[in-house]
């Protein structure tokens, strides 16, 4: 279906301090009162007459990934004022992966609602969104897409790498690697304590191609941040300069009426999906992109994603798929180096926050230079995109596997299921010496989907049972309806849809069943006949009610959250109508006139 015309700026109504007035039934009194209050903070009438750029401040003592927020805000303000605007910062919810119970994903939609409503409720002509840690950027883009005023994303930037006994380390691929070694008795308590001091060497986001780095890169590809904004590390001068440019650009966007719907088009999402595949990006980004697109009436077709995955190789040699870290990608030229290689596969006419197209910005970035982080398409890290989309009787709504970070010898695998009913069951039995498990078995974890856990925690990266780990086994096929951190690796099938808590087929799996995974055929099959599955379904007892589900945000979450294939957004926050589906199907001969 043709998309609506997003190419022209929309006429703006009230501006600056006159926007979004508090309702007293007398608009002039509302403005009079507002100005009286803000003058209490020392503003002059001259300052209050300027276009206003709101700055969403997500600095928090519980969010070290955003620990440079004060420096960034200062630089954004400088940029806004250099361009003749008035910067006003305001706080919103901040979410850090390790400081969010039960899981950060449970809170993403709350932050998106907070961001949207504060943009809408307060007088700003444009907004700078300062995010970084995994869920913050998706939440801010979801909120901004719905709020509809000019918005520009600034990320906090990646943390520096540390050094442990002569080895370079960074969060959080190495966190998991060292922890697995500790569980396998390969390193002792002293060493695991030592490395704990080195994994996070500065403020900033995880230093590998985890979800935060992935979201930074695809946000630049979407056109929602200044070119070159994805990769500068948090503590560098480059990052501060990006912040200043972001502030300046935000003012320019007001004059141009550059609203998110003009930038976040179907073609822009296709570009973002290409980049996601080429950077070996986090599986979580698919859920987030689906949620952001859903706010604008754009659906992401996972079969289509799989189709473009087959023609988009992984080019970026970063952990967990490769060997380098984000600061290396920045020194190698940043995302421009990736976009240059992908150029023939991209829509170059998409608009960016600068008002220029992606193609124009790529031309302006100039030629590349010799480096060893971003490969050519002729010499990729992995011949296909990092993510494969699976279907089968175990996942009628789909499932995904990060094939670039999986073991090659497990990509075609049949094994006996070892089932854990939920997270508590997993914690209780995974290291039981009497657990009936062999290295070739398939570990299955139920009830960690959007509703089951709730919040779809990153528990899909199940630990290898200790008794198997001690045999030197580093990977097994693992299947769940949950997510995994973008920093993790392994032969791990995720996002099984529909989830087991909704009665999806995953709920019917029993220990001893056989499961077949074929990445080449894109299939995930439970080798149990339909009659037996129907018998099990009929015998399944209803889930016992949980008292804590009956009130507050949790009740809202459980009653309105969608499944992974709809981005886990709340159903009432998505656009009323889906008007476009991407990636667009290639034209068939009969389609041509």
| Binding footprint of ligand FES on the chain (CB under 6 A) | 65, 96-98, 133-134, 171-172, 205-206, 210, 212
Which of 98, 550 has the CB closer to ligand FES? Answer: 98
Q: Judged by CB, which is closer to ligand FES: 115, or 497?
A: 115
What is the SS3 string spanning 174-224? HHHHHHHHHHCCCCCHHHHHHHHCCCCCCCCECCCCCHHHHHHHHHHHHCC
Provide the 8-state DSSP code for 283: T
Distance of alpha carbon 23 from alpha carbon 29, whole angstroms: 10
Cβ neighbourhood burial of 36 (10 Å; 0-12, 13-18, 19+): exposed
Q: 133 or 448, CB closer to ligand FES?
A: 133
Contacts of 334 (CB under 8 A, 6+ apart): 228, 230, 231, 232
Q: What minimum distance in Å lies between the beta carbon of 493 and ligand FES?
A: 23
Nearer to ligand FES, 168 or 416 (CB): 168
Half-sphere exposure (Cβ direction) of 22: Cα atoms closer than 13 Å: 9
- 124 or 279: whose CB is closer to ligand FES? 279
Q: Which residues contact 408 (CB under 8 A, 6 or more apart)?
A: none
Q: Which is nearer to ligand FES, 206 or 221 (CB)?
A: 206
| Minimum gap (Å) between residue 281 Cβ and ligand FES | 13
The least CB distance from residue 199 to ligand FES, in Å, is 11
Nearer to ligand FES, 468 or 484 (CB): 484
Shorter beta-carbon distance to ligand FES: residue 273 or 488? 488
Which residue lies nearer to ligand FES by CB, 282 or 491? 282
CB of 197 to ligand FES, least distance (A): 17
Nearer to ligand FES, 115 or 525 (CB): 115
Nearest to 56 by CA among 149, 140, 120: 140
**Nearer to ligand FES among residue 134 and residue 220 (C-beta):** 134
Phi–psi pair at 174, nearest 5 degrees: -70, -25
Cα 50 to its chain centre, rounded Å, is 35
Q: How far is the CB of 99 from ligand FES (least distance, A)?
A: 9
CA–CA gap between residue 272 and residue 24 (Å, rounded): 44
Q: Which is nearer to ligand FES, 139 or 395 (CB)?
A: 139
Kindly state the smallest distance separating residue 213's Cβ from ligand FES, in Å: 8
Q: Report the nearest approach of ligand FES to the CB of residue 159 (Å).
A: 8
Shortest distance, CB of residue 349 to ligand FES, whole angstroms?
32
We find the least distance from the C-beta atom of residue 307 to ligand FES, in angstroms, to be 30
In this complex, which beta carbon is closest to ligand FES, that of residue 95 or of residue 566? 95
Give the Cα separation of 348 and 364 in Å (integer).
13
CB neighbours of residue 488 within 10 Å: 23
Angle (CA) 343 347 348, round 5° = 70
Nearest-Å Rg of the Cα atoms of the chain is 24
Shortest distance (Å) from residue 103 CB to ligand FES: 12
CB of 208 to ligand FES, least distance (A): 9
Which residue in 329, 336, 333, 332 sits closest to 362, CA to CA? Answer: 336
Tokens encoding 6: 């997003």
How far is the C-alpha of 217 from the C-alpha of 339, rounded, in Å?
Answer: 10
Spatial separation of the C-alpha atoms in residues 17 and 196, rounded to whole Å: 48
Task: For ligand FES, give the closer residue by CB, 22 or 98.
Answer: 98
Residue 292, number of CB atoms within 10 A of its CB: 33
Please, what is the minimum distance in Å from the beta carbon of residue 102 to ligand FES? 16
- Least distance from ligand FES to the Cβ atom of residue 232, Å: 15
DSSP category for residue 9: P
Taking the C-alpha atoms of residue 74 and residue 172, their distance in angstroms, rounded to an integer, is: 29
Which is it for the CA torsion 244, 248, 251, 256, positive or negative? Answer: negative
Separation between Cα atoms, residue 486 and residue 349, nearest integer Å: 30
* Closest to 569 (Cα-Cα) out of 85, 209, 126, 138: 138
Q: Output 174 or 244, the one with its CB closest to ligand FES.
A: 174
Q: How far apart are CA 421 and CA 428, in angstroms?
A: 11
Q: How far is the CB of 402 from ligand FES (least distance, A)?
A: 16
User: 137-158 as b/e, with b when 16 or more CB fall inside 10 Å?
Assistant: bbbbbbbbbbbbbbbbbbbbbb
Start-to-end CA span in the chain (Å) = 17
Minimum CB–partner distance for residue 172 and ligand FES (Å): 6
């Amino acid at each position: 279906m043709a998309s609506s015309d997003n190419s022209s700026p929309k006429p703006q109504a009230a501006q600056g301090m006159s926007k979004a007035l508090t309702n007293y039934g007398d608009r002039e009194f509302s403005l009079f009162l507002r100005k009286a209050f803000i003058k209490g903070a020392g503003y002059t009438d001259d300052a209050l007459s300027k276009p206003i750029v709101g700055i969403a401040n997500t600095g928090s003592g519980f969010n070290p990934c955003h620990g440079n927020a004060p420096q960034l805000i200062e630089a954004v303000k400088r940029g806004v004022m250099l361009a003749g605007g008035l910067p006003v910062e305001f706080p919103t919810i901040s979410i850090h992966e390790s400081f969010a119970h039960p899981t950060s994903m449970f809170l993403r939609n709350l932050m998106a609602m907070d961001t949207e409503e504060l943009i809408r409720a307060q007088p700003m002509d444009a907004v700078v969104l300062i995010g970084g840690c995994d869920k913050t950027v998706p939440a801010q883009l979801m909120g901004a897409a719905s709020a509809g005023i000019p918005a520009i994303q600034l990320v906090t930037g990646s943390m520096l790498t540390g050094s442990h006994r002569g080895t370079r380390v960074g969060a959080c691929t190495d966190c998991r690697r060292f922890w697995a070694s500790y569980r396998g008795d390969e390193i002792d308590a002293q060493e695991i304590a030592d490395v704990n001091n080195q994994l996070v060497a500065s403020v900033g986001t995880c230093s590998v191609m985890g979800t935060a780095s992935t979201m930074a890169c695809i946000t630049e590809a979407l056109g929602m941040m200044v070119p070159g904004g994805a990769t500068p590390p948090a503590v560098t001068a480059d990052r501060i300069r990006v912040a200043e440019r972001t502030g300046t650009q935000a003012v320019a966007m007001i004059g141009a009426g550059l609203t998110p719907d003009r930038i976040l088009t179907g073609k822009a999402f296709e570009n973002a999906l290409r980049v996601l595949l080429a950077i070996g990006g986090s599986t979580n980004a698919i859920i987030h992109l689906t949620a952001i697109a859903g706010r604008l009436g754009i659906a992401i077709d996972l079969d289509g994603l799989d189709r473009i995955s087959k023609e988009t190789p992984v080019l970026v040699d970063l952990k967990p798929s490769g060997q380098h870290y984000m600061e290396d990608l920045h020194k190698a030229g940043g995302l421009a180096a990736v976009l240059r290689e992908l150029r023939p596969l991209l829509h170059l006419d998409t608009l960016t926050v600068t008002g220029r197209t992606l193609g124009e910005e790529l031309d302006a970035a100039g030629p590349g230079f010799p480096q060893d982080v971003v490969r050519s398409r002729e010499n990729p890290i992995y011949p296909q995109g990092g993510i494969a989309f699976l279907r089968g009787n175990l996942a009628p709504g789909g499932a995904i596997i990060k094939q670039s970070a999986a073991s090659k010898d497990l990509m075609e695998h049949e094994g006996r299921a070892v089932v854990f009913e939920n997270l508590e069951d997993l914690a209780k039995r995974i290291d039981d010496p009497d657990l009936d498990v062999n290295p070739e078995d398939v570990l299955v974890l139920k009830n960690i989907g959007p509703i089951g856990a709730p919040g779809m925690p990153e528990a899909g990266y199940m630990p290898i049972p200790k008794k198997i780990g001690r045999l030197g086994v580093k990977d097994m096929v693992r299947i769940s309806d949950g997510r995994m951190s973008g920093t993790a690796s392994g032969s791990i099938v995720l996002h099984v849809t529909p989830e087991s808590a909704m009665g999806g087929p995953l709920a019917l799996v029993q220990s001893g069943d056989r499961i077949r995974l074929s990445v080449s055929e894109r299939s995930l099959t439970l080798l149990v006949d339909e009659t037996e599955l129907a018998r099990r379904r009929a015998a399944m007892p209803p889930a016992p009610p949980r008292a804590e589900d009956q009130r507050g945000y949790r009740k809202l979450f459980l009653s309105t959250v969608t499944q992974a294939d709809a981005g886990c957004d709340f159903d009432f926050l998505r656009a009323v109508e889906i008007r476009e589906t991407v990636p667009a199907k290639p034209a068939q001969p009969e389609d041509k006139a």
